[in-house]
Amino acid sequence: MKKKQLITRRTALITGFTALGSYLLYRTVKSPAMPTYGSILRAGDNFTYEAQRALLSKRALAKEYSRGDITSFPAVGTIDPGDEKSPVFSKDYALTRHHDFSDWKLSVEGRVARPGQYSMADLQRLPVRTQITRHSCEEGWSAIGEWTGVPLSQLLQHAGIYPTARFVNFYAYDGYQDSIDMIDAFHPQTLLAYGMNGKPLPVQHGAPLRLRVETQIGYKSMKYLKRVVVTDEYVDPGDSGWAWYTGI
Average pLDDT, stretch 161-175?
97
pLDDT of amino acid 41 = 57
- pLDDT: which is higher, 23 or 69: 69
Is the Cβ–Cβ distance between 168 and 228 less than 8 Å?
yes
Query: 197: alpha, beta or left, given left = phi > 0 and alpha = psi -120 to 50?
Result: left
**Strand pairing category for 225-231 and 105-110:** parallel
What pLDDT was estimated at residue 117?
Answer: 98
| pLDDT above 80: residue 50 | no
Q: Is the peptide bond before 237 cis (omega within 30 degrees of 0)?
A: no
Q: What is the mean pLDDT of residues 152-161?
A: 98
Quote the pLDDT of residue 77.
85
Domain 61-248: assigned CATH number: 3.90.420.10
The residues pairing with 179 across neighbouring beta strands, listed in sequence order, are: 169
pLDDT at 193: 98
Q: Domain residue spans in the chain?
A: 1-59, 61-248
Residues 170-176: what's their mean pLDDT?
97
pLDDT at 151 over 50: yes
Give whole-number Cα distances, 19 to 5, 22, 24, 53, in Å: 21, 5, 9, 15
In sequence order, what are the beta bridge partners of 136?
142
How far are the Cα atoms of 196, 203, 207, 208 from residue 199, in angstroms, in the given order?
Answer: 5, 12, 11, 11
Give the dihedral sign, CA 229/207/158/152: positive
Residues 6+ apart with CB under 8 A from 80: 86, 203, 204
- Residue 168: the pLDDT is 98
Has residue 51 got a pLDDT over 80? no
If one compares 127 and 32, the residue with the highest pLDDT of the two is 127
Q: Which of 214-239 are b and which e, b meaning 16 or more Cβ less than 10 Å from the residue's Cβ?
A: bbbbbbbbbbbbbebbbbeebeeeee
pLDDT in tens, 30-42: 445 554 444 555 6
Lowest mean pLDDT among 47-56, 101-110, 118-127, 162-171: 47-56
Residue 198 predicted with pLDDT over 70: yes
Amino acid at 116: G
- Amino acid 3: pLDDT: 37
**Single-letter amino acid, residue 143:** A
Helix and strand numbers, DSSP H then E, in the chain:
6, 10
pLDDT for residue 1 = 43
Q: Give pLDDT, residue 236.
A: 85
pLDDT band at residue 246 using 50, 70 and 90 as cut-offs: confident
* Tally of residues, the chain: 248
Q: pLDDT category, 26, cuts 50, 70, 90?
A: very low
- The overall average pLDDT reported for the chain is 84
Q: Is the pLDDT of residue 9 over 50?
A: no
What's the rounded Cα separation, in Å, for the pair 155 and 153? 5
For residue 27, what pLDDT band results from cuts at 50, 70 and 90?
A: very low
